[in-house]
Structure 1
Amino acid sequence: MEFNYIYKQNMKKVTFLFFILILSLSFNSCVTNKRYNLLQGATTEKNSNPPQYEVTLQPDDELMIIISSFNPELAAPYNLSVGGVGGGATYLIDQNGYIVLPNLGSIKAAGKTRNQLIEAIKEALKGKLENPTIYVKLMNFRVLVYGEVAATGMQTVKSERYTILEALTNAGITYFGKRKKVLIIRENNGTRTFETVDVTKADLINSPYFYLAQNDVIYVEPNFVKLNSTVITPTVGFFLSGISVGLTILLLTRQ
């Protein structure tokens, strides 16, 4: 009788501890998902006013500019020659924000979007070249990503629409990276701004920092796990917790 009583009491304790373990693991799983899943709360509803974005040109931007028309010979004087072939040359925006085009002189580029610069070049060609076609491409769009990522360093981008999510994916944000507080340093007209974004929230797509600007600097802070040297990873933590509970159960059943 005494043995059965002790056995039943121990089984109650074992059941209770097992319940606590399952509850703890479930809670930690939910917390982990909330900390690390990106764009939480996103829905399939269409945004009637999606954010529009165009790169604003800055000093030190390198531009490929090609001016053409139905008669290549008429367009040739307005293109720099590259290897004996007109067009395809690059122009550097100077510190005053200007580029210098052959036979057109200085044209303000900084502060304009690519399409606005195209219109400015067309305006300069009025009366000189009929129905010109202008091609402008930003050649040195790059951002710097460092901190808690697998691949720190400069990312050179071909597209002019590059998001913070793409940058973090290409850099490989680690488990230790703080996703709720990613710092973006941006320079505009000589003024640096410091902004933190939460990449776990769906409304990130409405932020002016969702699309990156050239020369943006992205810093991923270490999270509490990295700062707390006693915690290695959730898996190890759960494993150690399981061992601890298992030893407790073993001791109780052997009493």
Structure 2
Amino acid sequence: MKLKASISILVTFFLLTSCVSNKDLTYFGDKGNGDELLAQNIKLNEKPYRVQISDLLSIMIKSSDQKLVAMFQPVASEDGSNNGTSEQSLYFNGFTVSKHGNIEIPTLGKMNVLAYTLTEIEEAIKKKLLEDYFKEEADLFVVVKLAGLRFTVTGEVGNTGIYVLYQDRVNIIEALASSGDITTVGNRKDVLIIRQYPQGQKIHHIDLTSIEAFNSPYYYIKPNDMIYVKPLKQKSLGTGTTLIQSITTIVTVLSLVTSVIVLSRNL
């Protein structure tokens, strides 16, 4: 009787601790207040990105006077345009925001861009060019973009590593998808985002199983973010993550226990 009770307790323990619940695997699983309200909340959270220290900017200046434009480009081709679009080219020819919040454009000199939006930087550059170098009829065109949004993903994901997405805005789901998504033993309820600030790094948390994740200030990642996915307890226990795997583990353990009992009785 004691043996049967011990086996029952053992089986119950494995069933309760080994399987990963469907709740733990489902993104945004709980119900919100309706799709329309949710969409409004997401739209409200889509604030323009403001430039930070160490950001890499790509600045393109176009005009009918391309020879004059060449003065403001780090590396110019014969027609006065900057054609480097590879990651390596952007690294050398882009404009890195210094620790004081400045970028330095050839001929124009230093400009403070810290906490400005990309649109505000475009307008400031265009204004300065029109005041000092170009005439209104020069058809001046200025585009400022982030030279790729770089971030790191590590922990329980398909492929850990450093990634660069050439988009103005990247949400955490897109970032995780680029790394092969969270594994079945990854903790979606407490994903860590380590973010850079002028005063240092801070760790933030987001629950991706809740629909409230859309309202989180960390739903959209920022350049140089590090995303860490912690393992679930099932991984540390070394048990199966599905019911079939758990049953296999239980059968293996029971077979081992039975073998030990049989051998001990024959001694």
Q: Would you call these one fold, judging by a TM-score over 0.5?
A: yes
1:72 pairs, out of 66, 78, 82, with 66
Are residues 1:153 and 2:161 paired? Answer: yes
Closer/same/farther in 2, CA of residues 151 and 243 from structure 1, 3 Å limit: closer
Find the aligned partners of 2:31 and 2:129 in 1 and give their Cα distance.
Answer: 47
Question: What residue in structure 2 maps to residue 249 of structure 1?
Answer: none
Give, in angstroms, the shift of residue 194 of structure 1.
0.8
Give, in angstroms, the shift of residue 66 of structure 1.
1.4
2:176 pairs, out of 164, 168, 174, with 168
Closer/same/farther in 2, CA of residues 124 and 233 from structure 1, 3 Å limit: same
Question: What residue in structure 1 maps to residue 40 of structure 2?
Answer: 48
Contact 2:67 2:80 in 1 (8 A): no
**Gap regions ≥5 residues in structure 1:** 1-20, 246-255
1:35 pairs, out of 17, 21, 24, with 24
Find the aligned partners of 2:251 and 2:75 in 1 and give their Cα distance.
Answer: 71
Are residues 1:181 and 2:190 paired? Answer: yes
Are residues 1:57 and 2:78 paired? Answer: no
Find the aligned partners of 2:96 and 2:249 in 1 and give their Cα distance.
Answer: 58
Contact 1:66 1:134 in 2 (8 A): yes
Tell me the SS of whatever aligns to 1:125: helix
Contact 1:54 1:160 in 2 (8 A): no
Determine which structure has more spread, i.e. the larger CA radius of gyration.
Answer: 1
Are residues 1:137 and 2:145 paired? Answer: yes
2:236 pairs, out of 195, 213, 227, with 227
Aligned residues: percent identity?
31
CA deviations 1:24-50 (Å, max 9, x no partner) are: 89xx98x71111100113566223342
CA deviations 1:110-164 (Å, max 9, x no partner) are: 3222112112212322323225211112214211011111211101111121111
Find the aligned partners of 2:47 and 2:183 in 1 and give their Cα distance.
Answer: 28
TM-score by length of 1: 0.75
TM-score by length of 2: 0.72
Give, in angstroms, the shift of residue 56 of structure 1.
2.6
Find the aligned partners of 1:140 and 1:190 in 2 and give their Cα distance.
Answer: 24
Residue identity in the other structure for 2:30: G
Find the aligned partners of 1:198 and 1:161 in 2 and give their Cα distance.
Answer: 20
Instruction: Report how many residues are paired.
Output: 220
Find the aligned partners of 1:157 and 1:167 in 2 and give their Cα distance.
Answer: 8
Closer/same/farther in 2, CA of residues 110 and 169 from structure 1, 3 Å limit: same
Give, in angstroms, the shift of residue 244 of structure 1.
10
Question: What residue in structure 2 maps to residue 96 of structure 1?
Answer: 100
Closer/same/farther in 2, CA of residues 238 and 61 from structure 1, 3 Å limit: same
Closer/same/farther in 2, CA of residues 161 and 114 from structure 1, 3 Å limit: same
